[in-house]
Amino acid sequence: MVFSVFSDDDTNFEGIMTALEGVFAGATRRKIFMQDILSAIPGIMDISKEERLLSLLEEFDAKGKILLPSRKGQGWHKFGILPLYVTLVRANEDRVTRTRKKTLARIREQNP
């Protein structure tokens, strides 16, 4: 007889977490649509899985790894609890982009 320290819910939670990390690591664009995330999650989506997925997305958002769309905007499904997309935060790329923008602004100021 085999015993597991994880309940069925815990293994689903870990499966969703692993799938999310894989999608984020393999993403070539910053905006990741929910259909791409859902296609990576094993099994059939039901309400409890959607709630767990949303809680994981909110956790990633709180850690600063992704950005969820504004609740007031149009980035959420009309019927459902999941966003239409998430945006990856790539700190190094964002820092480089900000530096380039500052440099360009400085150059423009110097050469009117």
Sketch the domain layout of the chain as residue ranges: 8-110
Whether the pTM exceeds 0.75: the reply is no
Higher-scoring residue by pLDDT: 100, 94: 100
Q: Rounded to whole angstroms, what are the CA distances from 47 to 2, 33, 80, 98, 100?
A: 29, 19, 9, 40, 44
**Structure confidence by residue, pLDDT tens digits, 39-48:** 888 777 787 8
**Structure confidence by residue, pLDDT tens digits, 18-30:** 888 888 888 888 8
Number of residues in the chain? 112
- Model pLDDT, residue 102: 79
Output Rg (C-alpha) for the chain, integer angstroms. 19
Q: Rounded to whole angstroms, what are the CA distances from 103 to 39, 91, 110?
A: 41, 18, 11
**Six token digits for residue 101:** 């923008």
